[in-house]
Amino acid sequence: MTKTMTGAKMVVQALIDQGVDTVFGYPGGAVLPIYDEIFQQNSIKHVLVRHEQGAVHAAEGYARSTGKPGVALVTSGPGATNAVTGLTDALMDSIPIIVLTGQVPTFMIGSDAFQECDTVGITRPCTKHNWLVKETDKLSSVLHEAFHIATSGRPGPVVIDIPKDVQFATGKYTEARQVETHYNPQVKGDMEMITELAEAMETAKRPVFYTGGGVINSGPAASQLLRELVAETGFPITSTLMGLGCYPASGDNWLGMLGMHGLYEANMAMHDCDLMINIGARFDDRITGRLDAFSPGSTKAHIDIDASSINKVIKVDIPILGDVAHVLEDLLNVWKSRGRKTNKEAVQKWWGQINEWRKVDCLKFEQKGKVIKPQYALSRLQELTKNHDRYICTEVGQHQMWAAQYLDFEDPNRWMTSGGLGTMGYGFPASIGVQMGHPDALVINVAGEASWLMNMQELGTAMQYKLPVKQFILNNERLGMVRQWQELLHGERYSSSWSESLPDFVKLAEAFGAKGIICSDPDDLDDAIMEMLNHDGPVLFDCLVEKHENCFPMIPSGKPHNEMLLGENADTANAIKSDGAVMV
């Protein structure tokens, strides 16, 4: 029996059929029929954000922390354009989200109608795929296909633009199982290549696993298989910013994060290894540093679901196109069946070298005096929250790098940060999405004061839905990372990189009905953090920190991995040469 219903009803029906329980959105003229349907049902919870960018980041936070696709619903015109930053963010970090946009009625498209914009045109380069649905009969199959495309292969954001007359009109509802799609990316890796990698692992003297967000996107099984592979081989493992949590920070073989602000031992291992096994990472420029000096002596294997990631910037010797979990399963089987061999003696020697690098203790810092060091604040946050069911979001900047360095992640999907796009203002709405997906968990957004202000309106959302998200603001009254680069690159001319006229964050919190805490004395910090944790409701924690602290270690742009700047005694003057200065 074919069901017929209005387009607006189809939207809600398709979301229910796809297992959606939460939608983040903001109403407007062109989505009123859908909002009317949402009003008349109880299966899906709608979270009213305060800005459409917040809706998309919240959907991202929900998706990253649950492994399910996130859904946002916004109106035409400004609703859609406000969603663009979130869509681009999700595209860069491969986050599956479905964004539904209202559109002016089909007969008004192209007439410069009120709140009209070319949504599919604007979002074409910042989505994995998008649709303008002009017929109600086609709407439900597009909705189902959208979920398939967003979540399969390399995940990403999709947009469905739905004109208002299509929402009002009645049409046939197609069930999800009836929808045919030609989009079925290859998930199994090539066995010949996998065997070649197993062979390389048997003889490698200085191997390293270089893992990324692809492990997390591949699902919990991928992290499980990775852990088994690391335990079985005894090889060291590092991860990109996006991959934190795929291997536990407490694991014996963990080297810490790599890259521009990665750990010394991780970057040195990358530079000196003879076998690099890239699992679901993409040789991003934050990772590689100077390309022609990137890990010059290594054989490189690369497991990736996206063919365009392979050989894009770094030539690899063993390319494996496929899903991480599928490939790791086959790799483990092949390697085991060949006798579980590794070059134990050489790998042990390699560990000796790595342990030498570890002695540099590149994250050491000294908390002295009456001003809180940001590293100290995060170390205390780590210590006081490590036994909680904890999810961490961040904004973008120095605090983000410090959070990656000083907080430990034991499991995947616990770390939500804007990696590829570097979106200031991501963390707060993302934390709202995470808390919606995990109502009983501890959700903390580590923020800088400038980033946090970019989407501070969402404090209203957190209050309305009683989401006890903790906003841990490392307030240095500076755009810290900008300031750091100006110090390194622009002769300490701090052009527009300080935060003037900052609000009183405690009063700001109270104005929304939330709790505000201010802390400036290291001796008070533990108590203040405990007060934050013990408060049942949103907290704005204004942690006043050292204003001129730089984020180290650092690979200056244009430099290779083995030329890192370490600690506060680093010679930062002229650290970046003219060829590196053009890079960001």
Partner 1 sequence: MSPLKIKKGSTSHSAYDLRPTFSDKEERHTLAVLVENEPGVLSRVIGLFAGRGYNIDSLTVAEVDHLGHRSRITIVTSGTPQIIVQIKAQLGRIVDVHKVNDLTVEGPSVERELALFKVQGTGEHRIEAIRLADIFRASVVDSTLESFVFEITGTSEKIDAFAELMQPLGLTEIARTGVAALARGSVA
Taking the C-alpha atoms of residue 472 and residue 114, their distance in angstroms, rounded to an integer, is 40
Interacting residues with partner 1 between 104 and 123 (CB under 8 A): 120-121
Nearest residue to 540 via CA among 454, 445, 455: 445
Is the link from the previous residue into 319 a cis peptide, with omega within 30 of 0?
no
Nearest residue to 31 via CA among 62, 63, 77: 77
Catalytic residue list contains 365: no
Taking the C-alpha atoms of residue 178 and residue 17, their distance in angstroms, rounded to an integer, is 13
Select the residue interacting with partner 1 from 23, 193, 281, 328 (CB under 8 A). Answer: 193
Lay out the site mask for partner 1 across 266-295 (x = CB under 8 A, - = otherwise): --------xx--------------------
Considering beta carbons, is residue 323 or 395 the nearer one to partner 1? 323
Minimum distance from residue 312 beta carbon to partner 1 (Å): 6
User: By the 8 A CB rule, do 52 and 79 touch?
Assistant: yes
Q: Which stretch binds partner 1 (CB under 8 A): 187-195, 387-395, 488-496, 551-559?
A: 187-195
For position 321 contacting partner 1 by CB under 8 A, the verdict is: yes
Q: Which stretch binds partner 1 (CB under 8 A): 16-24, 97-105, 309-317, 481-489?
A: 309-317
Catalytic residue list contains 114: yes
Cα torsion 111, 115, 118, 119: sign: negative
Give the 3-state secondary structure of residue 254: strand
Which one of 9, 68, 164, 470 is the catalytic residue?
164
Q: How far, in Å, are 62, 234, 313, 416, 550 from residue 254 at the CA level?
A: 27, 10, 26, 20, 25
Catalytic residue list contains 115: yes
Select the residue interacting with partner 1 from 203, 224, 382, 499 (CB under 8 A). Answer: 203
Structure tokens at 209: 């696993």
User: By the 8 A CB rule, do 288 and 260 touch?
Assistant: no
Interacting residues with partner 1 between 125 and 154 (CB under 8 A): 125, 128-129, 132, 149, 154
Catalytic residue list contains 52: yes
Considering beta carbons, is residue 161 or 542 the nearer one to partner 1? 161
Select the residue interacting with partner 1 from 48, 307, 511, 530 (CB under 8 A). Answer: 307
Select the residue interacting with partner 1 from 107, 232, 251, 315 (CB under 8 A). Answer: 315
543, 369, 547, 244: CA torsion to nearest 10: -60
Catalytic residue list contains 24: no
Considering beta carbons, is residue 146 or 467 the nearer one to partner 1? 146
User: By the 8 A CB rule, do 420 and 92 touch?
Assistant: yes
Residues within the interface to partner 1 (CB under 8 A): 120-121, 124-125, 128-129, 132, 149, 154, 182-183, 186, 190, 192-193, 196, 199-200, 203-205, 274-275, 296-299, 306-308, 310-312, 315-319, 321
Active site (catalytic) residues: 52, 114-115, 164, 481
